[in-house]
Amino acid sequence: MKKLIYLFLVLAVLGCKEKSKQIEETVVSKSVKSETETQVIEKEVQTNLDEYVSLIDSLNVYDISSIKVLKDYINNKLCVSGELADSAYYLFFDFFYTSTKNLTDSLETKYPNLVEKLYRHEEDSEVREFLELLNDCGLDLFSTEGNFYVDVQPDFFYETFKNNSSPSLKTFLELRNGDLKNGFSENAMLLISFNNLADRIYNWDKYLNNYPDTKLLNDEANYFLKIYLETYLTGMENTRLFDRESRILLPEVKLSYESYIKNHADTKSGMIIQEYYGILQRNQFEYSDSIDYILTKYNLSLMHGIKPYARK
C-alpha cells in the first residue's frame, strides 16, 4: 500500500515538475541564461526529488526515529519550491502520521514499563531518553481520559518546511500552527470560544477561496472547515448551543452568529450561517429539528455523540 501511495505521489510530483520546468524555461529566456545553466538547475531538482523519495522508501515507518532522519534531510538537503514543495510536504505528512499512529497504538504493549513510569510521573534515564527522542521528532506526549498519545508539536511542520514551501503551503502551515497551539476539544467539549471557532471557519474558508488549485492541500483544508462549521452550527455533546431548560439559543452563540453574518456574509460559510440564523429567527431561536435541513442541504453532520480528535 505504501508503495502505491508513493507511486501516486511521485507521479503527481513529476506532473508538478513539468509545470515548474515550463516556468523555469521562461525565466531563463528572459534573463538570457545559457542552456547549460538550465540543464544544471533541472538536474539538481530532479536528482533531489528522486533522492528524497528514495530516502522515504528506505526508512522504516514503524521506527519513530526515522522521522528525525527525514526531518534532518528536509532541513539540510531538500531543495524544492512551488507545487513540488506541496508534494514533498504531503509525502512527509503521510510518513509522519503513519509512524506516530503506530507509536500511540503500541505504547501500552511495546513499552509497558515506560508507560507505568509515565503514569507515576517518574523521571529516570529511560523516560528522559524517550521524551528527548519525541522532541527530536517534533512530537510531544499528551493524555486524554487517562490514556497517553503522541502528536505533533504546533510549529513542527511550519519550521520543517518554511524554506521549502509554496505560498499556499506556507499559509496552510501557519493556520495549522495557530489551531494546534490553541487546541480544539477534550472529552466532547469545546476548548475555545465560539468567536475563536468562528475565526477558524473564516480563515479556512478564505484559504480555500485564495488557493482553489492546491490539490494536495485542499482536502485537508476542506476537512478543517467542515468540522469547525459543523461544531459551530450544532455544538458538541458537552458544549450545547441551546439552554437545556428553556431550549433557547445561548446569547453568546446568537451574538457570534450575528457578528459572522455582519462581517463575512459574502463567504460560503457566511451564507450557510445566515440561512440557518434565518430559520432560527423564525422559530424565536428555540431549538427545533430545523438544523437537519441545513445539515442535509450542505452535507454536514451533527456533532453530538461524536468525539473529535482533541488536537484538530
Which of 97-101, 181-185, 250-254 has the least mean pLDDT? Answer: 181-185
Can you tell me the mean pLDDT for 125-143?
94
| Secondary structure of 115-171 as H, E, C letters | HHHHHCCCCCHHHHHHHHHHHHCCEEEEEECCEEEEEECCCHHHHHHCCCCCHHHHH
Span between the terminal Cα atoms of the chain, in Å: 26
**pLDDT for the residue 11:** 43
pLDDT digits 0-9 by tens, 86-121: 889 999 999 999 999 999 999 989 889 999 999 998
Whole-angstrom Cα distance, residue 44 to residue 78? 10
**pLDDT for the residue 3:** 40
Which of 16-30, 71-85, 92-106, 199-213 has the least mean pLDDT? Answer: 16-30
Does position 287 have pLDDT exceeding 90, yes or no?
yes
DSSP 8-state class, residue 78: -
C-alpha cell recorded at residue 251: 446569547
Query: With 0-12 CB in 10 A as exposed, 13-18 as middle and 19+ as buried, what is 159?
Result: middle
C-alpha cell recorded at residue 178: 495557530
Listed in sequence order, the residues at least 6 apart from 182 whose beta carbon sits closer than 8 Å to its beta carbon are 191, 192, 196
pTM (2 d.p.): 0.79
**pLDDT for the residue 84:** 84
Confidence of residue 262 (pLDDT cuts 50, 70, 90): very high
pLDDT digits 0-9 by tens, 22-43: 434 443 444 434 444 444 444 4
Can you tell me the mean pLDDT for 60-67?
96
Q: Are 20 and 98 in contact (CB under 8 A)?
A: no
